[in-house]
Amino acid sequence: MMAFQWPLQKVLDVAATREKAVKAELYELSWQISSQQQELLTRREGLSRSMDELSMLDMNVRRERQDMMMTWFAMEDRALRGIAEQIRDWMEQRRRKVEELARIQNKKDRLSDLRDEAEDVHERKRDKREQEQLDEVHHISLARRRMARSSGRSA
In a domain, residue 132? The reply is: no
Backbone angles phi, psi at 63, to 5 degrees: -60, -40
Q: Is 104 exposed, middle or buried (0-12, 13-18, 19+ CB in 10 A)?
A: buried
* Number of structural domains found in the chain: 1
- Measure the CA–CA gap between 96 and 91, rounded to whole angstroms: 9
Q: pLDDT digits over 101-135, tens only?
A: 999 999 999 999 999 999 999 999 999 999 999 99
**Rounded to the nearest 5 degrees, what angle is found at the Cα of 45, between the Cα atoms of 69 and 71?**
15
In a domain, 103, yes or no: yes
Q: What secondary structure does DSSP assign to 98-126, as a single string? A: HHHHHHHHHHHHHHHHHHHHHHHHHHHHH
Whether residue 4 lies inside any domain: the answer is no
Residue 96 lies in domain:
10-114
Summarised one tens digit per residue, pLDDT across range 65-100 is 888 888 989 999 999 999 999 999 999 999 999 999
Any domain includes 36? yes
Model-wide pTM > 0.85:
no
Residue 136 lies in a domain: no
